[in-house]
Amino acid sequence: MKKTVIVSSPGKLIIGGEHAVVYGRRALVTSIGMRLYMQLTEEDKQDYESTKQLLNIVFHDTNKHYSINLLDSHDSYSLEIQAILYIYNHFKSFLSDKNQLNIQVRSEIPIGAGLGSSAAFSVCLVGCFYLLCYKKLNQEDINQLAYKVECLFHGTPSGIDNTISTYGQSLVYSRTLKKHLDFRLSNLAIIDTGIPKSTKRMVDLVRVFVENNQIEGEKILNDIEICVDTMIEHPEQINQLFQRNQQLLKCLGVSIPEIDSIIQTLAEKNISAQITGAGGGGCLIALTSSFTKDEILDLLKDHHIKSIQFVECGVEGLREEQTFVS
Ligand code: PMV
């Protein structure tokens, strides 16, 4: 007998409030039309060997294959595998120890660019096991457990990434608030600087800044929250608010000269752009209705950016799929 479940969940863009959200402030976040797909199959092993209980994992994007004996697991695995084992252990009382598990992953979300790839992975992982064991998806339970997986990846994140990947649409999010919004931006371009970034390093850098400059730090965090509230109340001011949010993030120390220079080049053509996510590299978002992708690429030809993509925002969160395309 073979049981298969397939789910997908989206990546995200933080429109405003990154970093401040770590300190309990409100942030504005939207899901994007790039998804991660995961398939989990539980099957009877015909040639089952009693000394082996296998978990096979295939990451199609990187062409990595793992075969893990669940009776002999150790902690030198990569974070993704540790996350899978953590969730397997959570659900194992529902699973037969005579069966083999196969997981396949395919993602449209670039890794390590601040677009929520790890959260989409965490949400899909929990979603797959939940669906296999309970035959339905419960967003609240899945989101809570996906947060624990995110803690394996990132320490103590704010929870914004797993929440938007689970629920989809757009949200005003804080550690105590999760409110759906009808907030959509058309003509939103993601500019991947191609500069590697570390969320943990940026969060640590902001922590040191806020600890050493308490009054100024608190003021910047409050100003970021005001900027977020204004984005929601006055979406017609979004261009100026992108510029304001970027200035505030720069004051927190998470911009870098390469990013400042890209933003300056775009500003000269009246394109408002800002960091999205942790900063220090990764992706920027820009608003433009007058420039095509190729025209922006041309404008930024001296900046060695990795890619530009216009994306849909405010899409569906975690959902069950009927097919898995590898
Ligand atoms: O990992 P990123 O680039 O999506 O950034 C996450 C957003 C932060 O506010 C910097 C951290 C957090 O936990 O919210």
Residues sharing a CB contact under 8 Å with residue 142, sequence separation 6 or more, in sequence order? 123, 126, 127, 130, 166, 318
Residue 168 gets which letter from DSSP?
B
**What CA–CA distance (Å, rounded) separates 91 from 87?**
6
**Which amino acid would we find at residue 172?**
V
Which residue's CA is minimally distant from atom 14 of ligand 1? 158
**What CA–CA distance (Å, rounded) separates 160 from 22?**
9
Confirm or reject: Cβ of 278 under 6 Å from ligand 1: yes
Structure tokens of 36? 């991660």
Ligand 1 centre to CA of 19 (Å) is: 6
What secondary structure does DSSP assign to 149-167, as a single string? HHHHHHSS--SHHHHHHHH
Residues sharing a CB contact under 8 Å with residue 150, sequence separation 6 or more, in sequence order? 118, 119, 122, 157, 159, 161, 162
Q: Of how many residues is the chain composed?
A: 326
Structure confidence at residue 49 (pLDDT): 56
Confirm or reject: Cβ of 308 under 6 Å from ligand 1: no
CB atoms within 10 A of CB 151: 15
* Cα distances (Å, whole numbers) of residue 19 to 36, 52, 125, 184, 253: 25, 45, 26, 22, 11
Give the fold, CATH level 3, of 188-310. Alpha-Beta Plaits (3.30.70)
Structure confidence at residue 155 (pLDDT): 85
Sort residue 282 into left (φ over 0), alpha (ψ -120 to 50) or beta: left
Is the separation of the CB atoms in 187 and 285 below 8 Å?
Answer: no
3-state secondary structure of 67: strand
The ranges assigned to domains in the chain are 2-182+314-320, 188-310
Paired with 188 in beta bridges are 287
Least confident piece of the model among 66-80, 205-219, 296-310: 66-80
Give the pLDDT band of residue 48 (cuts 50, 70, 90).
Answer: low
**What CA–CA distance (Å, rounded) separates 94 from 97?**
9
* Cα distances (Å, whole numbers) of residue 156 to 40, 83, 230: 28, 15, 28
What secondary structure does DSSP assign to 248-313, as a single string? HHHHHT---HHHHHHHHHHHTTT-EEEE-SS-SSSEEEEE-SS--HHHHHHHTGGGT--EEEE--B
Ligand 1 centre to CA of 164 (Å) is: 12
Ligand 1 centre to CA of 136 (Å) is: 29
Confirm or reject: Cβ of 317 under 6 Å from ligand 1: no
**Considering only CA atoms, which of 85, 88, 89, 52 is closest in space to residue 71?**
52
Residues sharing a CB contact under 8 Å with residue 108, sequence separation 6 or more, in sequence order? 11, 34, 35, 36
CATH class of 2-182+314-320: alpha beta
Ligand 1 centre to CA of 14 (Å) is: 8
Tell me: the pLDDT tens digits for 124-166? 999 999 999 999 999 999 999 999 999 998 888 999 999 999 9
Confirm or reject: Cβ of 157 under 6 Å from ligand 1: yes
Give the pLDDT band of residue 50 (cuts 50, 70, 90).
Answer: low
Ligand 1 centre to CA of 237 (Å) is: 24
Q: Which atom of ligand 1 is nearest to the CA of 276?
A: 3
Ligand 1 centre to CA of 157 (Å) is: 7
Confirm or reject: Cβ of 280 under 6 Å from ligand 1: no
Tell me: the pLDDT tens digits for 232-288? 999 999 999 999 999 999 999 999 999 999 999 999 999 999 999 999 999 999 999
Confirm or reject: Cβ of 15 under 6 Å from ligand 1: no
Give the pLDDT band of residue 73 (cuts 50, 70, 90).
Answer: low
Confirm or reject: Cβ of 203 under 6 Å from ligand 1: yes
* Backbone φ, ψ for residue 273 (5° rounding): -140, 155
Domains 2-182+314-320 and 188-310 share a fold: no
pTM (two decimals): 0.93
Confirm or reject: Cβ of 21 under 6 Å from ligand 1: yes
CB atoms within 10 A of CB 18: 31
